[in-house]
Amino acid sequence: MFDQWQQPLDVRALIRQGITLKGEVQVAELPRLQGVVLRDAPIRFGLSFGKNDEGLAVVTGQVQGTVEMTCQRCLEAVAIELDAEVGLGVVESEEEAKRLPPELDPLILGEEPVRLADLIEDEILLALPVVPMHAHACVPAHREHEGMEKADNPFAALRGLVKPSAH
Ligand SMILES: [Zn+2]
């Protein structure tokens, strides 16, 4: 199988020519997402290589899709909408990276080849929530209530003491 995601990109040439790469990649083709994302899903991307208004070499675009992660409250799957804006400043060294404006993350061209999979993986990993959770109260209310009474209700321990007649 020709693995286009793992091929090194000639970033300088892409910038010189002002190329936009658009397409769809499957989560299963991105090794660093295995174990983070529960199942395979398509991720759409558009990455434009070129110079911005200040003449800086940049990669801009979006990464979008819906992935499933494990909800950290109920441990069931939760769908996470990904819609990440990409803004990378392409530089040759750490020193140069420090001079980038704050809205640009550095993409340092060094010894390591830059692969399309790496670029897309980085953006997805940055955009995913650290603690994924359902937006609704996914743990049944009575279970949350029990936990709250034990941990947070300072009067729970006094209950027997203030009403001795209740026995
Ligand atoms: Zn949940």
pTM: 0.77
Q: Is the pLDDT of residue 134 over 80?
A: yes
Q: How far is the CA of 159 from the centre of ligand 1 (A)?
A: 32
pLDDT, mean of residues 93-104: 95
Residue pair 128/100 in contact by the 8 Å Cβ criterion: no
pLDDT, mean of residues 90-104: 95
Q: How far is the CA of 37 from the centre of ligand 1 (A)?
A: 15
Q: How far is the CA of 75 from the centre of ligand 1 (A)?
A: 6
pLDDT by residue (tens digit) across 1-25? 356 788 899 999 999 999 999 999 9
Report the C-alpha gap between 62 and 139 in whole angstroms. Answer: 34
Q: Is the pLDDT of residue 166 over 50?
A: no
pLDDT, mean of residues 99-118: 92
pLDDT, mean of residues 112-119: 91
Q: How far is the CA of 149 from the centre of ligand 1 (A)?
A: 21
Residues in Cβ contact with 167 at an 8 Å cutoff, skipping those fewer than 6 apart: 160
Quick one: tokens of 156? 């729970």
The confidence score (pLDDT) of residue 1 equals: 39
Report the C-alpha gap between 81 and 67 in whole angstroms. Answer: 7
Report the C-alpha gap between 124 and 158 in whole angstroms. Answer: 50
The confidence score (pLDDT) of residue 111 equals: 82
Backbone dihedral angles phi then psi of residue 26, each to the nearest 5 degrees = -90, 140
Q: Which of 57-66, 112-121, 124-133, 149-158 has the lowest mean pLDDT?
A: 149-158
pLDDT, mean of residues 103-111: 92
pLDDT, mean of residues 74-94: 96
